[in-house]
Amino acid sequence: MELEYLEGLNEPQREAVLQTEGPLMIIAGAGSGKTRVLTYRISHLINHGIDPFAILALTFTNKAAAEMRQRIEKVVGSEARSIWMGTFHSIFARILRIEAHRIGYTRDFSIYDTEDSKSLIRTLLKEMNLDDKTYRVGTVLHRISSAKNGLISVNEYQRNELFRAEDEGNRIPEMGRLYRAYQDRLLKANAMDFDDLLFNTNVLFRDHIDVLNKYQQKFRYVMVDEFQDTNVSQYVITRKLAAVHQNICVVGDDAQSIYAFRGANIQNILNFEKDYPDLKIIKLEQNYRSTKTIVQAANSVINKNKAQLRKAVWTENEDGSLIDLVKAGSDNEEGVLIANSIFEEKMQHSLRNSDFAILYRTNAQSRAFEEALRRKNIKYRIIGGLSFYQRKEIKDLVAYLRFTTNQNDEEALKRIINLPKRGIGEGTIAKIIVAAGEAGLGLWDVVSNSVSFLGARLAGPIDTFATLIKSFRYTAEQKDAYETAAHIAKTSGLLKELHEDKTVEGLARFENVQALLNAIKEFVDNPQNEDKSLSAFLQSVSLLTSAEDDKDTDRDKVTMMTIHAAKGLEFKYVYIVGLEEDLFPSQMMLTSRADLEEERRLFYVAITRAEKKLTLSYAETRYQYGRLKNCEPSRFLKEIDNDYLRTNHSLSNREAYVNSFVRNLTPRKPEQINATIHTPSSDFTPSDTSRLAEGMKVEHAKFGFGTVKEIDASAHDRKARIFFDKAGEKTLLLSFAKLRIVES
DNA sequence: ATTTATATCTTTTTT
DNA sequence: AGATATAAAT
């Protein structure tokens, strides 16, 4: 067994697997079989009698953890389930839940997501009378987040002259007070944000030596994947945990560090050598994934960066085909061209949809590709974007669940107290918060005794709400998570409200809530989950990014995602799209952080996802904020050695244009829709466009389908008006965005 | 308190 | 264009 899995490894790989004792750093180039090495290394430990419970493996995404666990299970069997493997956030949330009472929390603490955090900051700004235009919510949160990721406590922050000077320079001198107020409120709400999960773990280990000792003894082997993306807070935790046994293994690639914006610190790699003088370093430089062309093009890009550990990634693979460069007239045409290319390559080389990936810089870019692929009947899936758990209806129900387990959760309370409408307006909510603050009590104390705090007039509806929550709390004590959640969904009136909404969107929302309930049922039915309480479910759910299509049996789909989400994955054919200056590299990155090198590393990550063939594309025009904007090709395109490139001269076809140019659909009267058709170039006469638009079917969520009947092409300015049948009975309202062409 | 009209801002990546 | 905040109307 052992020989079997060592057989396929090259020398440094084998060494990395066998070197289980003492500090080890593996510098793993892209495609060098890193996951394989990690998998075998852990399997090797288990095969040699190490208790899986003594192994801690930290990754950056849930997906990476799940995949590795699966692969280990193939080698060692069901023992793999016992390994402590997961993201930093999920592992330490688990530990914090066990030890919460030590640091002033209860085990039912809530986890605030970014939306909750921002909402809290907004209320704080109001309460402290600070202008939200000078104190931008995003900036404030980012500032607090960086402090916590760098292990700077509130006290230190306020004491530190450097921060004070910086904040005064930025005209936000109250930052220190804000930070304090924010942390106070989180503690009062028995809630932690993402950064607190790490920060508070540090506090826990610092102030409670016995707890630290317990986990130091427990984890004999500590492993960190994607080490280049750890921040100070994460690094200190792992260093402390490994302090006794010194069996720490970190795996990373400085060339793939793409999370500096989140506090990741390449310094960690350099410090690592200082912290562990007898550190062993192994470099994996042979690439098994990609063709020579791709590997060399990637090298030529990354070598433009100054800050890097020199490392020579090479491959014995074949040369492979050249990199295609596609120029499109518009973002929509870019979608069509890529969809066509996928279609053709698929036919020519008899490939599967799942062999293809489209990678972009920002989530917003996915639209054009979705539309083009849908038209060609190519199945696709999108990773990331608005995840399932960020949707309004899901967050609403989750807020009910959160508040049922934790009555101090202020953000959850604000969300649900008047949902469905109970006649509790913003004014009333503000009064509740003020009353609680004055009495030095929690919100729930006020809500559950509303008469004595707010008088009988306001108390009526609040009382109803309080009684409802009390009954939910009782249910939660008696029943498991699923029964409780189903009961809450029904009794709160959430389901009823959604059920009455017969629009397309309303239907989808209703189904989403059902899907959440199903997910809770699965959680309860899973024998691996011992604790079936509502609060246990919430814990597991708050750290999920996306509701991964586990239930989606059809895996043969083209994958679309941001480059960040693509790290660690590989595909035969990869399309990197939107290679335009200011988009990729992102303008923000260049102006606010002046970090072109991180953008270039991002490009490097994208290129090295490809196994067989890479296609790059950019558009000359792109819709942004409703306007057509001219784009310049990205500087990155010029950085690729011409020897590896082949420009694709395929010209766009007219039909493709027009299909995607029906825009600005403006309802005037219920039976009439004003649609504006923009064309990108003066090649198109108004009659040209209108002829093509005729007969198209139009879909609007509020009133179903209609067919284009008549087109008034007399309008100037490359616009045409469209009239079509009214097909629904609801009053026509104004979500123009939902209007789209479904078929021509 | 709630709905509806109008104005303003957005401008990245993710646990 | 679309989301969100604010003002005005109900």
Find out whether A564 and A262 touch, Cβ atoms under 8 Å: no
Q: Binding site for ATP, residues of A? A: 28-35
Residue A667 has pLDDT above 80, yes or no: no
Rounded to two decimals, the pTM is: 0.84
A34 is a catalytic site residue? yes
Q: Catalytic one among A183, A201, A256, A679? A: A256
pLDDT in tens, A685-732: 444 444 444 444 443 333 333 434 333 333 323 333 344 333 332 222
Q: Which CATH superfamily is domain A388-545 in?
A: PCRA; domain 4 (1.10.486.10)
CATH class of A323-383+554-653: alpha beta
Note the strand B nucleotides within 7 A of protein beta carbons: 1-3, 5, 9-15
What CATH number should be reported for the domain whose range is A110-189? 1.10.10
Find out whether A677 and A663 touch, Cβ atoms under 8 Å: yes
Domain boundaries, chain A: 4-102+199-286, 110-189, 323-383+554-653, 388-545, 668-743
Dihedral sign computed on CA atoms, order A269, A274, A276, A277: positive
The 10 Å Cβ neighbour count of residue A115 is: 12
pLDDT at A693: 46
Provide the CA A525 to C1' B5 distance, Å, integer. Answer: 49
Asked if A4-102+199-286 and A323-383+554-653 have one fold, the answer is yes
Dihedral sign computed on CA atoms, order A126, A132, A138, A141: negative
By mean pLDDT, which of A119-128, A358-367, A658-667 is the weakest? A658-667
Q: Catalytic one among A116, A167, A225, A620? A: A225
pLDDT at A234: 94
pLDDT at A170: 81
Residues A386, A396: Cα–Cα separation, whole Å: 15
pLDDT in tens, A16-65: 999 999 999 999 999 999 988 999 999 999 999 899 999 999 988 887 88
| Nucleic strand C near CB of residue A661 (< 7 Å) | no
Instruction: Pick out residues 536-595 of chain A having their CB under 7 A from any atom of nucleic acid strand C.
Output: none
Burial (CB < 10 A; 0-12, 13-18, 19+), residue A649, is: exposed
Provide the CA A659 to C1' B6 distance, Å, integer. Answer: 32
Q: Which amino acid is at A405?
A: T
Instruction: Pick out residues 127-166 of chain A having their CB under 7 A from any atom of nucleic acid strand C.
Output: 132
Query: Of A410, A357, A388, nearest to A610 (Cα)?
Result: A357
CATH topology of domain A4-102+199-286: Rossmann fold (3.40.50)
CATH class of A668-743: mainly beta
Average pLDDT value for residue range A444-465 = 84
A525 is a catalytic site residue? no
Residue A172 has pLDDT above 60, yes or no: yes
Nearest nt to the CA of A136 via C1' is: B9
> Which residues bind near strand B, taking a CB cut-off of 7 Å?
A 60-62, 87-90, 114, 133, 136, 138, 194-195, 258, 261-262, 361-364, 384, 418, 421-428, 543, 545, 561-562, 564-565, 586-589, 592-593, 624-625, 734
Find out whether A619 and A372 touch, Cβ atoms under 8 Å: no
pLDDT at A740: 33
Note the strand C nucleotides within 7 A of protein beta carbons: 1-3, 5-6
By mean pLDDT, which of A87-91, A236-240, A314-318, A503-507 is the weakest? A503-507
> How, if at all, do strands A24-28 and A280-284 pair?
parallel
pLDDT at A696: 44
Provide the CA A375 to C1' B13 distance, Å, integer. Answer: 29
Q: Which of A135-149, A275-289, A456-470, A579-593 has the highest mean pLDDT?
A: A275-289
A226 is a catalytic site residue? yes
Provide the CA A235 to C1' B10 distance, Å, integer. Answer: 35
Output DSSP code: residue A582: B
A174 is a catalytic site residue? no
Q: What is the mean pLDDT of chain A?
A: 81
